[in-house]
Amino acid sequence: MPSGLVIASLVVLMSIIWRRRHVAFAGYANWLLGWLGAIALLAYITATPWFGLMLSHTLSGMVNGRMLDDPSDADAIVVLTGGMWDAGPVGWIPKPESIHRLAVAYEIQRMINVRLPVIVSGGHTKGGQNPSEANVTASFFARQRTEVTPTELEEVSTDTYESAMQLAPVLAKRGVKNVLLVTSDVHMLRALATFRARGIDAIPAPALNLPENMGIRAVLPSAYGMMFTADALYEIFGIAGYLLTGKISFSDLTYNQPHNEL
């Protein structure tokens, strides 16, 4: 249901209660009106792009990580997929977020070294009978790219933690030291922390997708605003869940610079 319709419905309900309240139940009606007013205000705020972007920029602003003096020193690029859709007769297609992330990875690869391996991580999130997110996303680009560049798939993981678990031993076995991690800017904090907890000191290479200035639209409730809020809250609760279950620690959320780099 559109956010504006939800808010309008609450306002109409409050108006009906106010008009029909009985003296005997005035206290109860006032209490109910107070709660409905609070819910309507909360719905309005959380549906505005301003609120969602405030949370998102807070998360992305907390990201800090190792940087390379020379980008050509990168050993590999790891891309975390962002979902896929069932498009019916044409089969599965990657969500825009997956396309955006892999597009950024391939552009980084083109700028640094076309032979730099790109590892796309994303498993069978829609069931084992369906293709993996990594396969669907990589195949989407393979159909549209004329040049052949090294692309590898990790098709077991179904979340960020499993991606780090699957890739950590592979990268360690290859002796990979400099890993560029590509994911959305709002997801980067949790992703970096999870990889650090598995011993991978990845270098953040965010696929930026947060608008900087929306003008008056920033304070108007919309599905766009609800999306930003939902994504940010998903990451906040995801970080809290990882901390509570021991998948990451607080120290993993910050970059601890080695003494030899000081």
The tens digit of pLDDT for each residue in 70-97 reads 999 999 999 999 999 999 999 999 999 9
Mean pLDDT within 106-131: 94
What SS3 class is residue 237?
helix
**For residue 24, is pLDDT > 60?**
no
Token pair belonging to 239:
């970080």
Assign a CATH topology to domain 66-210: Rossmann fold (3.40.50)
CA distance 30 to 21: 9
Mean pLDDT within 166-180: 95
Q: What is the per-residue DSSP string for 93-148? A: EE-HHHHHHHHHHHHHHHHH-TTS-EEEE---TT-TTS--HHHHHHHHHHTT-SS-
Spatial contact of 51 and 45, defined as CB atoms under 8 Å apart: yes
**For residue 5, is pLDDT > 60?**
no
- The whole-number pLDDT of residue 151 equals 92
Mean pLDDT within 46-63: 94
Token pair belonging to 236:
């906040």
Select the more confidently predicted residue: 12 or 98.
98
Mean pLDDT of the chain: 87
How many Å from the N-terminal Cα to the C-terminal Cα in the chain?
53
Tally of CB atoms within 10 A around 61: 10
- The whole-number pLDDT of residue 213 equals 77
Spatial contact of 249 and 243, defined as CB atoms under 8 Å apart: yes
pLDDT band of 155, cuts 50, 70, 90:
very high
For residue 67, what are the contacts with CB-CB under 8 A and spacing of at least 6? Answer: 203
Tally of CB atoms within 10 A around 174: 11
**For residue 29, is pLDDT > 90?**
no
Give the β-pairing of 76-80 and 118-121: parallel
- The whole-number pLDDT of residue 23 equals 46
Domains of the chain, by residue range, sit at 3-46, 66-210
**For residue 21, is pLDDT > 80?**
no
